[in-house]
Amino acid sequence: MQKILLIEDEPEARALLARRLSAHRFEVLEAGDGIEGSRKAKESKPDLIILDLKLPGEDGIQIYHGLRQDPSLQKVPVLFLTAISTGGSMSKESLALIASAKHGIEMKGEYVVMGKPYDSKQLVETIRRMVGEP
C-alpha cells in the first residue's frame, strides 16, 4: 500500500481528500500545516506528498524546498494542489505555479501542479502515475 502525506490547512478539504484516497487503497497521513507536515514527512518517509500551496506561515514552495534539503526526501514526488487565486502573501515561485495550474496539470520532473477544484478521477490517476502504479 502506497503511503501519501497530505499537507492541507483546511480541515474539510483535507478530510474529504483523505477519504477519497483511502477508498482507492492508499495509506493517508494528514498534516494541517507545514511544520507538522515536514515532521511527518521525515518520520514516515511517504511515497508521495500532496502539498497545498497556500498554507499559514510558510507557503508550499518554502516547505517543498525545506523537504528537498533532507536527503531521504529528495526523490519523493510532490503533488501541489492549489486554488486558482493569487490573494495573500505568497512567493513569486508559488504565484508562478498557480499561473501554470490555470492551464491544467503542469508536470515537472519532481512535482506536479493541479488546480482546485480538481477532478477526483484525474487526481487519482495522476497519483498512481507519480507513485509508479499502473
27-66 pLDDT, tens digit each: 999 999 999 999 999 999 999 999 988 888 887 888 888 9
Does 5 score more than 60 pLDDT? yes
User: For domain 3-130, is the CATH number 3.30.1300.10?
Assistant: no
pLDDT at residue 17 above 90?
A: yes
Enter the pTM of the model: 0.84
User: Residues 8-21: what's their mean pLDDT?
Assistant: 95
| 61-118: pLDDT as tens digits | 888 889 989 999 988 999 988 775 545 555 566 666 665 554 444 455 577 888 777 8
Q: What are the cell numbers at 59?
A: 507557503
Whole-number pLDDT of residue 99:
59
What lies within 8 Å, CB to CB, of 118 at 6+ separation is 81
> What pLDDT shows up at residue 84?
56
Can you give the pLDDT at residue 100?
55
- Residues 25 and 43: their CA atoms lie apart, in Å, by 21
13 compared with 116, residue with greater pLDDT: 13
**Burial of residue 23, with CB atoms counted within 10 A of its CB: 0-12 exposed, 13-18 middle, 19 or more buried:** exposed
| Residue 90: predicted pLDDT | 53
Q: Provide the strand spans (E) within the chain.
A: 3-7, 27-31, 48-52, 78-83, 106-107, 111-116
Q: What is the pLDDT of residue 115?
A: 76
**Any idea where the domains of the chain sit in the sequence?**
3-130
**10 Å Cβ neighbour count for 39?**
11
